[in-house]
A and B are shown apart, each in its own frame.
Chain A
Amino acid sequence: GNSVTQMEGPVTLSEEAFLTINCTYTATGYPSLFWYVQYPGEGLQLLLKATKADDKGSNKGFEATYRKETTSFHLEKGSVQVSDSAVYFCALDAGADSWGKLQFGAGTQVVVTP
């Protein structure tokens, strides 16, 4: 079956540090890949997505590249801010056969200190 594995947290960083959150997946076919962010007490927000191999999704300074050869979709940001403190979820949609179902990773908590 489909699955998503992401690095465990919490990840604690100082402001302006470089952030990487690893995400790897297992899926048949050609899934679409997503990163969602959840700020404390809120629902999930779509951060970025990529729908085919070698696509790069980007938003708010975050980037992730869909690497089919390594089945990965790592999230990166060059200089984090305190306001980036949140839980980040990697997710995949397996495509037409999945009927819109999203498979989520367990989430990675990121804490950015001043």
Chain B
Amino acid sequence: NAGVTQTPKFQVLKTGQSMTLQCAQDMNHEYMSWYRQDPGMGLRLIHYSVGAGITDQGEVPNGYNVSRSTTEDFPLRLLSAAPSQTSVYFCASKRSSNYGYTFGSGTRLTVV
């Protein structure tokens, strides 16, 4: 099993550009989430999904969109990149409520 795969690993964007961070898991997990990690702030939830076709906002959703058309994939779209979105982004998945999440290796995004 590959686990949770995130692409790309690194990305530099100009302010105003859009892009999609890809996330795929091969464990047939129902729950998937996107977090951003900033120095001194821990991890903050952006969006999450409890199954194909079901998504909702987390703590910091502004400027991001998600969709979940399949169980395997949960892409995160930046609509118009801003320097405040410079961060490390982690995708995670888990089987059900009492299980721990499996995290991807992250995407380091810089917006200039």
Binds B, one of A14-22, A37-45, A61-69, A70-78: A37-45
Question: Given contacts A43-B106, A45-B103, A46-B102, are A102 and B45 in contact (CB under 8 A)?
Answer: yes
Contact surface of A with B, Cβ cutoff 8 Å: 32, 34, 36, 42-46, 49, 51, 89, 93, 95-96, 98-102, 104-107
| Chain A residues, Cβ within 8 Å of B98 | 32, 51, 93
- Chain B interface residue number, banded: 20 to 34
Q: Other than the known A42-B106, A44-B103, A102-B33, what 12 A-B pairs have Cβ atoms closer than 8 Å? A: A32-B97, A32-B98, A43-B90, A45-B103, A95-B97, A96-B97, A100-B50, A101-B45, A101-B58, A104-B42, A104-B44, A106-B41
Partner of A101, one of B48, B96, B102, B105: B48
